[in-house]
Amino acid sequence: MSLRYRLNDEVGASGRNVEDTPIDYAKSGVDIEAESRAISSLIGALSDSVRTSGTKGAPVPLPGGFGGIIEFGDSCLTLATDGVGSKLQLANALDKYEGVGIDCVAMNVNDLLCVGAEPLAFVDYIAVPKTDPKTHAVIGKSLAEACRRARVTLAGGETATLPGIVTELDLSGTALGWFPAGNAITGENLEEGDVVIGLPSSGVHSNGYTLLRAVVEKSGLSLKEKAPFDTFHFGREIEGVSQDSATLGDVFLNPTRIYVDPIIDLIEVCRGGSGPCNIVDLKAIAHITGGGLSNLLRLHESLGWHISDPLPPQPEFRWMAEIGPIDKLEMHRVFNMGMGMCIAVSSNVAENVEKWLAERLPGTRKVGFINNDGHRVTHSDPEIVFEHY
């Protein structure tokens, strides 16, 4: 294997041959703490719903949840909205949009899964400075493929041409899902000793790209150059190319994994009594997006999480940590580090659920457990601790 940079096996290892000035998300332009405060201010300024409990459309409380829930008779509807973010700046720079529709759908439907909701439909919003039919066709094909993977209807969308407001293409969307009323998976029934099962990511997914782009700029490499690290990682493909010939752009534009298959199948067979466990044994589901492992703290107000045997990060994470340099805590705060989703289950069914999931998504395995050692996330690496989201 020929490397432009020599990388040790551990994230944040020594032996750098680039300028040793650490960078982080805030310095690259995104302050997660400030963003959390802004969101809290926004929520605090919102008024109560005009729809009251017991009527269709009334809100269902979900503290810390990944989406919004409303009443709908014997069912509950769920909504999630998100965009591709600054990953689009790489797609715009390379004029390569084949995966961005998948990213957009994935970021939304994966959030719906976290309350046990089956995604049903999706609508998109595209904003451009100038209309380009060729680009729209590529994005449309990407959205169609994403909806196929997510098993949802592409119910519509909106395209806005906004010269003077937007300078390059932006893409976002909203997903709708449902679950039987009273059957939400929220994390409130978590118990000490429950087991955490990790599902592997396909790479960086769609978070942290402001920091990622700062690393690429610091490296001095072009996105069109062959990746300066061995891109092979068990259980993942880099779409459109072979792993041994992938460029940096190919690696970093690899689309976000959609987890509808196998998670919805697991929920359905467990609700039907024919799965690897009873539905009550599926305690919590987390989408590991911006905020990294700190997302786990959203699912219970007092219990803690210990990641004792983390999934291996893809090679690009090690490269970013080395080139940045970016310290271990920051890497695990900004990026998924190889685990895109996780499920907490009762300890007595953990092996059955692990086996069932791993048969459908290779690389899935037990990564940790729930403890009562305080409301925090700890890790096999003692430097990685999160005490707030």
pLDDT in tens, 48-96: 667 888 999 999 988 767 779 999 999 999 999 999 999 999 999 999 9
Q: What is the pLDDT of residues 97-140, one digit of tens each?
A: 999 999 999 999 999 999 999 999 999 999 999 999 999 999 99
Sign of CA dihedral 238, 242, 247, 250: negative
Reported as a pLDDT band with limits 50, 70 and 90, residue 24 is confident
pLDDT at 312 over 60: yes
Mean pLDDT over residues 317-332, rounded?
Answer: 97
Strand partners, 371: 304
Q: What is the pLDDT of residues 213-234, one digit of tens each?
A: 999 999 999 999 999 999 999 9
pLDDT at 25 over 80: no
Least confident stretch, 11-25, 101-115, 320-334:
11-25
pLDDT at position 15, please?
39
For β-strands 377-379 and 365-371, DSSP reports them as unpaired
Mean pLDDT over residues 275-303, rounded?
Answer: 96
Mean pLDDT over residues 384-388, rounded?
Answer: 95
pLDDT at 175 over 60: yes
pLDDT at 31 over 70: no
Provide φ and ψ at 259, rounded to 5°. Answer: -105, 15
Domains (range + CATH), the chain: 48-180 (3.30.1330.10), 187-379 (3.90.650.10)
pLDDT at position 42, please?
53
pLDDT at position 50, please?
75
Q: How far apart are CA 255 and CA 229, in angstroms?
A: 19
Sign of CA dihedral 20, 25, 28, 31: negative
CA dihedral 140, 141, 146, 149 (to 10 degrees): 150
Q: How far apart are CA 251 and CA 226, in angstroms?
A: 10
Mean pLDDT over residues 243-259, rounded?
Answer: 95
Q: What is the rounded average pLDDT for all residues in the chain? A: 90
Provide φ and ψ at 285, rounded to 5°. Answer: -135, 135
SS3 of 145-162: HHHHHHCCEEEEEEEEEC
C-alpha radius of gyration, the chain, whole number:
21
pLDDT at position 20, please?
67
pLDDT at 11 over 90: no
Please report which residue ranges of the chain form alpha helices under DSSP H.
25-28, 32-45, 87-94, 100-113, 133-150, 209-219, 248-252, 260-271, 315-323, 328-334, 350-360
Question: Is there a contact between 310 and 339 (Cβ–Cβ < 8 Å)?
Answer: yes
pLDDT at 355 over 90: yes
Is residue 255 reached through a cis peptide bond, with omega within 30 degrees of 0 on the bond before it? no
Phi-psi region of 363 (alpha: psi -120 to 50; beta: other; left: phi over 0): left
Mean pLDDT over residues 229-246, rounded?
Answer: 91
pLDDT at position 243, please?
80
Whole-number percent of the chain with pLDDT over 90 = 82
Quick one: tokens of 104? 């957009």
